[in-house]
Amino acid sequence: MPHYLSAEELKRTVPADIAPFPSPVPVQIVSNGEFNPLPQTREQRRLEARIKTMADALGPKHGMTRRRFLASSAGMAAAFLAMNEVFGRVFDVSAAEAAAPGMADERAKALAAQFIFDAQTHFVRDDYNVPRLMIFGRYAKQHWNPALVGEDSLARYKFENYVKEMFADSDTKIAVLSAAPFDDPNALTLDNDQIARARAIVNGIAGSRRLLAHAVVTPKRRGWMDEVDRAIAVLKPDSWKGYSVGSPGAPTKLDSYWWLDDEKLAYPFYEKIVKAGVTTVCIHKGLLPVDYEKSWPGVWEYATVRDVGKAAKDWPQINFVIYHAALRPFLETPDVALAEFEQTGRIKWATDLAEIPAKYGVSNVYAEIGTSFANSAVANPRFAAAFIGTLVRGMGADHVVWGTDSVWYGSPQWQIEAMRRLDIPEDMQKKHGFAPLGGADGLVKTAIFGGNSARLYGIGVKAAQSDLTRDKIAAIKAEYLATGGLRSNLRYGYVARATT
C-alpha cells in the first residue's frame, strides 16, 4: 500500500499483515499510511490476551481450531464480548453467541442480505512496486515469523484480493473505488483510467452495478481542468475525489493545497460538474501525521473544515461528502480525546463538521467515517460512540455515510460488525443529548450503512438488492462459503513496533 510516513516514522512501525495474532478485530491501531499509529495500549494488550483465552476455551466447543474459531461468526462475537469486558459495555453482544454452536451463524445469516454500501475503498495498480513494502515482510520471515507467506508479493494489496476481501469475505454489496493525488506519479495507487477500468471489469463480471468509480481532481496542477473535461466525456465517473491538503501526508512540493470555497479556483470546477450532472464531491479532511502542524505551519489548515460551509451554501446543487468526518486522529491518545470530549462535549474537527448544517443552513454536507470509526472502535469504543453520536446529533442519521478505507484494513466485516453492535452508553446519551443508535438493521444504521449513499448515487435500494442477490458475485460468494472459505483476519496497514 502507499504510505506518507517518513523513513524515521517507518522505523517505528511494522506491517499489520504480519502480526502474529489474527484477531477478528484489530488489537491495536492500524494506520493506512496517512498517520502515525499509536503503540498498543495496556487495554489493547488485555483485549488481545482475553480474545486468545476465549478462543482456546470456546473453539473446542464448536469443534474448531483457534484459527478457524477466530475466523467464524462465533469468534467475531467473542471478540466483541472481550471488548465490552475491557472497555465497558458499548457493543450489543451476548455470551451465548460466542458459546452456543450455530447461534452466531444464525445471526450472521439473518443480516447477510443487509444493504451495505462502502463509500471509500482502495487497491493498488498491477504495476505498483514499492520495494520497501516487501522489505518488511522479508525481514519478518527471516527474523521472527518463518511461517509468513507472500513476503515477496504485493498481491495482498491488489485487485484479486480486493474483490475477495470486499465481496466474498464481507457483507458489502456496493463499493466506491477511490485513490489519492501525489506529487510523485510513481506513488499513485490508481489513476483515473485504472479506476474506471476496474469498475468495468467488476460490473462486467457481476452483471450488476457492484463497483462505482471516483475521478481524482488535482486543483492548481497544470491541466487539471482538462482532465476534468476528459473524465466527464470519457470516464464518466460516479463522483469526484479531492485532497484539499494537496499531496496527502506530507507537505506538497507543488503547493497544491486548496480551499473548497476558493471562488476563482474551485467554483469553475463546480459549475462544470453541475452542468455534467456528476454532483457528489468527496473530500479528504483530517487524518494528519502527528507532526504535521508543527513541521509545516499553514499547510495543515487545509485539512480542516473551515472552507466547507461557504462552499456548500454557495453550491446547493452539489453534495459535499467529507471523508473521515474530518477527525484529527490521535495527536493525543484516544483516552485523552475522550476525556476532552467528556469535559467539553467537542471532538476536534469532527464537531466542527457536525455543526455546519445548523450554522450555515445547508443540507448538502455529509460525513463519511472511513478509518476514523475503525481506529476509534479498536482504540476506545466509548470514543467511537461519542464520535458517531456527535455526527448523528449534528447532521442527522441521513447525512452520515458508511466507508471503511478497505482494503488497507483487510476485509471490512469487522468494521461492519462493530457498527451493527455499537450503541451509545446511557450515561453519554443523558449527558450529551445523544439518541440511541438502535439495532443492527434499525432505521439509523440502515441509513448509515447504505441508504444515504444510495440516495447520493441515485441507486434504488430495493431494485439493487434484487439484482445483487442474483448476480455472478453473489453466486461466487455462495460457492466460496459452501466450500469452507474463511475470512483471513489480515490487515494491510501499519502498526506501531513493540517496544518491549
3-state secondary structure of 86: helix
> 211-216 and 239-243 as β-strands: parallel, antiparallel, unpaired?
parallel
To the question of domain 117-476 being in CATH 3.20.20.140, the answer is: yes
Residues in a beta bridge with 176: 212
> 13-15 and 494-496 as β-strands: parallel, antiparallel, unpaired?
antiparallel
Angstrom distance (rounded) from CA 498 to CA 500: 6
The residues near 464 (Cβ < 8 Å, ≥ 6 apart) are 115, 173, 174, 208, 209, 454
Angstrom distance (rounded) from CA 84 to CA 77: 11
Query: pLDDT 10s per residue in the chain (500 long)?
Result: 444 455 555 555 556 555 557 788 877 666 555 555 667 778 888 998 999 999 999 999 999 998 889 888 999 999 999 999 999 999 999 999 999 989 998 999 999 999 999 999 998 887 766 544 444 444 444 443 454 444 455 677 788 889 998 999 999 999 999 998 887 777 788 999 999 999 999 999 999 999 999 999 999 999 999 999 999 999 999 999 999 988 776 666 778 899 999 999 999 999 999 999 999 999 999 887 666 677 677 788 999 999 999 999 999 999 999 999 999 864 456 677 788 899 999 999 999 999 999 999 999 999 999 989 988 888 889 999 999 999 999 999 999 999 999 887 778 999 999 999 999 999 999 999 999 999 999 999 999 999 999 999 999 999 999 999 999 999 989 888 887 766 665 555 555 556 55
Half-sphere exposure of 268 (CA within 13 A, CB side): 9
Q: Are 137 and 167 in contact (CB under 8 A)?
A: no
Residues in a beta bridge with 180: none
Q: Among residues 164, 158, 235, which one has the least CA distance to residue 200?
A: 235
Q: What are phi and psi of 252, to 5 degrees?
A: -65, 135
The residues near 85 (Cβ < 8 Å, ≥ 6 apart) are 50
Angstrom distance (rounded) from CA 316 to CA 354: 17
Give me the residue spans of the domains in the chain.
Answer: 7-112+489-496, 117-476
Please calculate the CA angle 184-188-190 and round it to the nearest 5 degrees.
Answer: 160
Predicted TM-score of the model (pTM): 0.86
Distance, first Cα to last Cα, the chain? 27
